[in-house]
Amino acid sequence: MAGNRKILRNLAEQLTLEFGKGFDESNLRNIRQFYIAFPIRDALRHELSWTHYRIISRLETESLRNQYVIHAIESGWNTRMLQRNITSQYIGRVLDTSEQKTPSVQQLIKDPYIFEFLDLPIDTKLSESKIETSLINHLQQFLMELGKGFAFVARQQHVVTDTSDFFIDLVFYNYYLKCFVLIDLDTDELTHGAIGQMDMYVRMYND
């Protein structure tokens, strides 16, 4: 290992003398890792930058690398989004859909969701309205975390029954699944009443 580092250091010095900046030891290490991860030049996708490939090349398996390449291109991730999704194990929370033309619900809905981008205190009980407001303020990141094909429809969607008025916290539409996705935020323990209310919302949307 020490011998390899010395070779890399000497090579970096020679290349820097001949070609100038950009060939330091760290860069050469990244280039070597990139070549090991993506040895077939013609298979590279021009939609991704060198930084995209440098981040993806650190992943352990070819399957995982290929899946992140596909997701990054299809979803238009910049390098910051790519790094965030790798760190939060995006692929592990959404099944690979690269070989299927029509994704299933399980392949589009993640479990669990991760909302670290809200920067909300984790040691404080928060109200549903505060969480909702923060999600709306971070709508682009929230949509990315939801998964593929989600479009924002409404906040506090007003629905009416014969006896009462109700408000659905968040409503989205998924154009892959061709269905609405209803979200009711609740910081308390899940109750039968809450499940029944959501079931009512679903039946109203079905109607």
Convert the pLDDT of each residue in 20-79 to its tens digit. Answer: 887 888 888 888 889 899 988 888 888 999 999 999 999 989 988 998 998 888 888 889
Does the pLDDT at position 103 exceed 60? Answer: no
Does the pLDDT at position 99 exceed 60? Answer: no
Size of the chain, expressed as the number of residues it contains: 207
Nearest 10 degrees: CA dihedral of 93, 98, 104, 110? 10
List Cβ neighbours of 176 (8 Å cut-off, separation of 6 or more).
102, 103, 108, 148, 149
**Measured distance between the N- and C-terminal CA atoms of the chain, rounded to whole angstroms:** 67
Does the pLDDT at position 93 exceed 50? Answer: yes
Strands 179-183 and 165-174: antiparallel
Range from 117-121, 147-151, 158-162, 172-176 that averages highest in pLDDT: 172-176
Q: How is the chain split into domains, by residue range?
A: 114-207
| Residues of the chain by 3-state class (helix, strand, coil), percent to 5 | 50, 15, 35
Reduced to 3 states (helix: H, G, I; strand: E, B; else coil), residue 113 is coil
The answer to whether the CB of 172 falls within 8 A of the CB of 145 is: no
pLDDT (tens digit per residue) in 165-184: 888 888 888 888 888 989 88
Q: What pLDDT shows up at residue 109?
A: 55
Q: Report how far residue 29's alpha carbon sits from residue 56's, in angstroms, rounded to the nearest whole number.
A: 14
Does the pLDDT at position 130 exceed 50? Answer: yes
One DSSP character per residue, 132-147 reads HHHHHHTHHHHHHHH-
Q: What pLDDT shows up at residue 134?
A: 75
Confidence class for position 98, pLDDT limits 50, 70, 90: very low
Give the DSSP H/E element, type plus range, for residue 17.
Answer: helix 2-19
pTM (predicted TM-score):
0.48
- Tokens for 155? 């906040």
Q: What pLDDT shows up at residue 78?
A: 87
3-state SS string over 49-86?
CHHHHHHHCCCCCHHHHHHHHHHHHHHCCCHHHHHHHH
